[in-house]
A and B are shown apart, each in its own frame.
Chain A
């Protein structure tokens, strides 16, 4: 802006003295520059002007500045949530539209603080740290749109991660007040701790119409397969504790139980197992001498012996994850992080992200009833498999459990995969840890087909200028009955390829046979191999000691009865 001011103070003084022709020229020039400057200025300040009118301002850094919304008592409450909802019945797919990127657009409602008529908030925590992290991650992602009219999925800023801190009825009313609620269509709620005493329902109790639920702790009876998303219960330790990946090798304990709120019946069962199998099992409980709080969450005890949690998990091959009042347990996340194979005992539990993750490769699921047989079951698993499961467990944590961002992105990707199934991520993409991705071979031609002879083959001959040997090759190869086509690639810019019959003469071609004997040639090729190996990050070539020959090759057998008598006769 200052530049244009400077310019305009000069302009009038100069212009009158000039010839009309020049004047017009300069006026045009200056106005172009001026316009340019204005345009630049406009462009720069444009977002600012929008932001100031936006619902949640730029400089509002505190939650307390979010607008306060009072909920009238009589406000409508959504319906409880329809168990028969599926993508084709309760989800408006037209909002997502066809787009070349095959990516859904997600809108986040601006933050509002809902209170009832007497000013009591609907939630005791308000916006939690974790939900803020989750929404921030979505807004930073490629899924995000701020344009509510283009959105395919709507995420309310009302935090329902933990049902304990919610007032059910008022939260439901708040949801219904969202401007685009429309019976919850295309709305996604995140909840990790559903239900409450005494029954602990396995899905969020807040009435929510048709909204999709990304829930932690679904049971098979509340989970709407193909509609809801089962998510993990985030463990706050994920952010606090750094556990380096443990290298494969023997571990001190075979089975470890670290949960503190285990039903006494199950604890008794575990103790019985411990009696039978001794040192192989470690049964931890909370430490009685420590005060409540963060410190106690990081310690576990066994008969007065204190262990660091979650570090101790790394010392065991298997770690028990028993259901508590809820099916979903944050312990699962800690166990995966430690690279300990979770032994999940929670009947009817829908495992996190089970729509895409192959839990058989990272965990052992045992019916609660079979807890007494746990030791025998686990002992029967081959050692190689246990090591692979440990690696897989850690990789699941890294990719899908480690942060609210990871959990949020995975959830959105799963929904995205449903809406654009033909562009969905593959099983391998979801389940193969990086190590396997690099070392495994997934051939694009995986079906064992033995092609018939009828289509024959195409010969491709690359040539530079050795015409004579080219013709020799052509003559030989054209005798082959199954040759369908012969393609010569003329790889020489300085000469044009020979034409017609004349090409058979090639005086300058001396028989430089054995090009590959050339020393520099070999050195170059070695360099190539090194270069390629470094780009591939590994040496993909494999050495074998066999060669394919015809069945009767060089056998003492009449030549004319052999299918391929001429092989090896050169």
Chain B
């Protein structure tokens, strides 16, 4: 009996349990019908009522006929409207549309005029550097009548009235400039504005409709697409070239000894003091090391607080550079002004900047996506900063760190870079629809090397194929540089022409006739499967071989000297290699540079060595964009030097391409006879036979290096050979067998 009851109870308990489960199971469908939780259950969150999806009788926000009933046509003419704009929106509301005269840039393009320096005007070294960068750039014009943009020779960098660099009476000096025109189309550089105690962004003179290129500019004062925010840089910032970033190799995982560091002044009172005064809350003296000192200014003892002595002692214990190089993140808090030197220091050191400067318009914000290279913090959330930076995934750290290096080298490493970037930003505004895209500015090799006049399409540049998921067109154009008259049918140029034209990838051969003798008759050129175009070089100068000819329809250019000996197989192989490295020079004869420490200058060698840093353009394939860059980016002085010497054009091209890519060229394997033929050819009037030739090349190297500000060439000790090259397999299995055959 007892057992029966027990079973009964057990059974009923079981029944209840089942009911319980059933009930629980019912819950979802029940709530589904009552609770409109259908969408939410997909999203995986629950428990909250939602906005009601009202159905039925709602009206559209804009009736069908409304747009047409707006009697737009009765309004004033758009032309008048545009004229009105410039009257209304000036001063703090200036924009390019209202305060800039585009018509000045129409006829001569984007030319920049620098006022002549007046005697007796003092000028800081930084401002001198700025002006000389402009004068050395391809934008410079000495004729104000051609100019689109004007730059003052009055030093406006330091507008802190307490500073010794402060230029007095700027207001009247500026008003007296006869080209001033209320500042229209003028660009004013400034690093410091305002003074103690409130550090306003006032420049102390009326700059009218001039644009500002200003450091520490606040978002409230910044006129978007009109002003340019520049970084704060010190007087010892290199004028050109500049140091490279400190990152030598990527370490994985990317963590360094410290997570976050800072070392700098602490302002006890006044503007900008809050954040730095609060840093000690986050300092943990282990991996978050934020050190401040009160010891600055004359009477710091007067204001010092209870923490000062302790802080000062800690501060002196640590070496700033050691911290900079061993930290993953570097704090960049505002100082008295919004920008601080810490920013560029961190950027160069590959220490990801953590910005704490509310309202700071980041340097070159118009073109740089700072989220990819820095952490933009909020001063109000200082206490969250450690957990924020710790939460950043190591993949992101790796990419942030690399981006700091790219940006540093592309836009910040020297005064010249900063100035050129500023000018290019304004240039882009003038170009309007033909301006660079975001991607050009924010990915290698950066905006200064991506000239938008060449094309605004990323796929026309050699750098972005992988990013866009496209490939260069599998064809090339050969350009043969002819300097000797055509006298015999056995001349190497004819053999070369036939061999190149036979390549399956060749679509056209251009013969650049840089010989003083008249063009040979058409029938003297051998018949080929591809069109042969003979261009009679107008100026007969060396640089003309790198002109961006419209008649080059392909991405790839095969550049050849007339005495080059190449087989079709060699050309084909070099071209397939180039397809994998479209941004580099791929070719045959290689040369090397070295630092001659006895003479303290760069040396050039053509010896067979274990490495190389140049591939001569007498037999090389590269992207046609480099023709454009050579002609438009390099200053006339360097191109003139090449033309005058009739030498070094290949060295200059190698300098240029390596400066852009930061990579060495690529040498591919060649038939061994090449070298011997080169040696034999001394009988002809080859420029290689000239004894001065070599010495000239030495001196070119040094001139180029000084213009680039550093040595861009990079060594390589790799040669690319066909996969089965000289392997012990049947020659019949080899695709490029001719390369091995002698």
Contact = CB atoms under 8 A, between A and B. Distances in A.
Nearest to B45: A142
Nearest to A226: B219
Interface in B433-465: 433, 435-439, 442-444, 455-457, 459-460
15 contacts: A63-B54, A136-B53, A161-B61, A225-B224, A261-B73, A264-B73, A325-B75, A348-B85, A366-B433, A368-B78, A422-B375, A426-B372, A448-B662, A448-B663, A551-B717
A43 interface: yes
B5 interface: yes
A375 interface: no
Contact of A266 (B78, B82, B714): B78
Nearest to A146: B48
Interface string B401-440: 0100110000000000000000000000000110111110
A547 B720 contact: yes
Interface stretch (A67-75, A290-298, A508-516, A529-537): A290-298
Interface in A55-106: 56, 58, 60-63, 84, 86, 88-89, 93-94, 98, 100
A392 to B, nearest CB: 11
Contacts of B721: 546-549, 553
Interface of B: 2, 5-6, 8-9, 12-13, 16-17, 19-20, 23-24, 26-27, 30-31, 34-36, 39-40, 43, 45, 47-62, 64-68, 70-73, 75, 77-79, 82, 85, 89, 93, 95, 97, 219-220, 224-225, 247-250, 358-359, 369, 371-372, 375-376, 378-381, 384, 387-389, 391-392, 395-396, 398-399, 402, 405-406, 432-433, 435-439, 442-444, 455-457, 459-460, 466-470, 573, 576-577, 580, 590, 608-612, 661-663, 667-669, 672, 714, 716-723, 725-726, 735-736
Contact of B250 (A261, A377, A445): A445
Nearest to A383: B457
Which 7 residue pairs are nearest across A and B when measured between Cβ atoms?
A439-B469, A139-B51, A451-B249, A385-B457, A3-B19, A146-B48, A128-B61
A34 B13 CA distance: 10
B460 A382 contact: yes
Contact of A14 (B5, B67, B395, B470): B5
Given A162-B61, A220-B225, A448-B663, A385 B34 contact: no
B469 A548 contact: no
A568 B271 CA distance: 69
Contact of A88 (B31, B358, B576, B720): B358
A337 to B, nearest CB: 17
B50 A545 contact: no
Contact of A261 (B68, B391, B395): B68
Given A56-B52, A421-B376, A547-B720, A236 B72 contact: no
B250 A449 contact: yes
Interface string A290-331: 001110110000000000000000000000000111000010
B67 A330 contact: yes
Contacts of A193: 61-62
Contacts, number: 381
A330 B455 CA distance: 30
A501 interface: no
Contacts of B388: 98, 422
Given A422-B392, A438-B469, A330 B402 contact: no
A286 B378 CA distance: 52
A551 B249 contact: no
Contacts of B369: 427
B466 A382 contact: no
Contacts of A388: 457, 459, 468
A550 B53 contact: no
A10 B720 contact: no
B58 A132 contact: yes
Contact of A440 (B8, B30, B224, B466): B466
A127 B716 CA distance: 68
Nearest to A7: B16
Given A192-B62, A296-B64, A361-B437, A444 B667 contact: no
Contacts of B45: 142
A347 interface: yes
Contacts of B669: 549, 553
Given A111-B54, A440-B468, 13 more contacts: A33-B17, A44-B31, A89-B220, A162-B61, A220-B224, A225-B224, A385-B457, A422-B371, A442-B466, A444-B398, A446-B443, A545-B723, A563-B611
B577 to A, nearest CB: 5
B433 A377 contact: yes
B23 A365 contact: no
A56 B49 CA distance: 10
Contacts of A127: 54, 58
A138 interface: yes
Contacts of A94: 380
Contacts of B580: 542, 544, 546
A292 B64 contact: yes
A424 interface: yes
A555 B224 contact: no
A292 B66 CA distance: 10
